[in-house]
Amino acid sequence: MEGARVAIQGLGNVGQALARFLADCGCRIVALSDSGAAVHSTRGIDLRAAIAYKMRHGSLAGLAETEPIGHADLVGLDCEILAPCALANELTAANAAQVRARLIVEGANGPTTPAADRILAEHGVTVVPDILANAGGVTVSSFEWVQGLQVFFWDEAEINQRLERVLPRAYDGVAEAARRYVVDLRTAAQCVAVDPVRRAPQLRGVFP
């Protein structure tokens, strides 16, 4: 991860949290966008300064030591990781071939259309699908449900420890399914999700 260049589309709750995490891992954030502007710096963007600037001005427009780019241009930047964390249907058949990143991590819900998925696969781009990449929130929601039932509450450190056990295991299971069935990660995630439903009626003897 050290030195990997990252372009993040969207600096809301998801994009901001992802940017902080990747910066802590040693990645270089080379592009950020919000609803009002997109900015780029090959040297890397000072994330704390960018977040503070956005809080003061309501937009990234005019952020010091960056250059403005079009929202559409962010998708095609030269980087290792592209993280669409804003809206659905941002990667389409019209722009998927412009993607230069080798890894796409979906922070938004449904940012990649099926047509774009096919194009990205043809170009050898790995897509970590939304059902896996942004599953942290719903996983912690399940933790909250369990705590509420037990009336036994965990602190933030324990929540994070539990989450760090669940998500890598989930990714490993999806990656193994992708290898087994020779499919992309999105299809593999669907296989992993559907398989317990398929097996349950068999185990219960509902079907021969």
CATH code assigned at 71: 3.40.50.720
Together in a domain, 84 and 168: no
Together in a domain, 30 and 111: yes
Together in a domain, 40 and 61: yes
pLDDT band for position 189 (50/70/90)?
A: very high
Last residue of a domain, one of 102, 131, 160: 131
Last residue of a domain, one of 101, 131, 161: 131
Looking at residue 208, what is its pLDDT? 58
Together in a domain, 12 and 112: yes
Rounded distance between C-alpha atoms, residue 78 and residue 99, angstroms: 8
Together in a domain, 21 and 98: yes
Count of structural domains, the chain: 2
Together in a domain, 98 and 150: no
Together in a domain, 83 and 173: no
Together in a domain, 69 and 154: no
Domain of residue 106 covers 5-131
SS3 per-residue string spanning the chain = CCCCEEEEECCCHHHHHHHHHHHHCCCEEEEEECCCCEEECCCCCCHHHHHHHHHHHCCCCCCCCCEEECHHHHCCCCCCEEEECCCCCCECCCCHHHCCCCEEECCCCCCECHHHHHHHHHCCCEEECHHHHCCHHHHHHHHHHHHHHHCCCCCHHHHHHHHHHHHHHHHHHHHHHHHHHCCCHHHHHHHHHHHHHHHHHHHHCCCC
Give percent above pLDDT 90 in the chain: 91
What's the mean pLDDT in 27-45?
96
Together in a domain, 39 and 121: yes
Q: Which pTM was predicted?
A: 0.90
Is it the case that residue 69 has pLDDT exceeding 90?
Answer: yes
Last residue of a domain, one of 131, 147, 180: 131
Structure tokens at 23: 């910066």
Looking at residue 204, what is its pLDDT? 85
Is it the case that residue 49 has pLDDT exceeding 70?
Answer: yes
The residues with which 67 forms a beta bridge, in sequence order, are 40
Together in a domain, 155 and 170: yes
Residue 126: CB atoms within 10 Å:
14
The residues with which 32 forms a beta bridge, in sequence order, are 8, 39
Together in a domain, 126 and 79: yes
In the numeric block, the tokens 């912690």 are attached to 140
Together in a domain, 28 and 121: yes
The residues with which 81 forms a beta bridge, in sequence order, are 6, 103
Is it the case that residue 86 has pLDDT exceeding 80?
Answer: yes
